[in-house]
Amino acid sequence: MVVEERNSEVQGGLCMVRVLFNDGKERSFINNLDDQNCCYYAGVRLS
């Protein structure tokens, strides 16, 4: 379940999503390739 979503108004700017998983843990993903929590490195892809 998505807990929080933040988007930048600047095109290509920061976007962050916090997701609550079935295991009870919350994980955050962002689109910044310089951050270890980047969606790309976590394997999150749009389908």
pLDDT tens-digit series, residues 1-47: 889 888 877 676 678 888 899 999 998 888 877 877 677 777 766 65
* pLDDT for the residue numbered 25: 93
Q: What is the pTM of this model?
A: 0.57
pLDDT at 47: 57
The full set of domain ranges for the chain reads: 2-42
d(CA 47, CA 34): 23
Distance, in Å, from the CA atom of 24 to the CA atom of 9, rounded to the nearest integer, reads 31
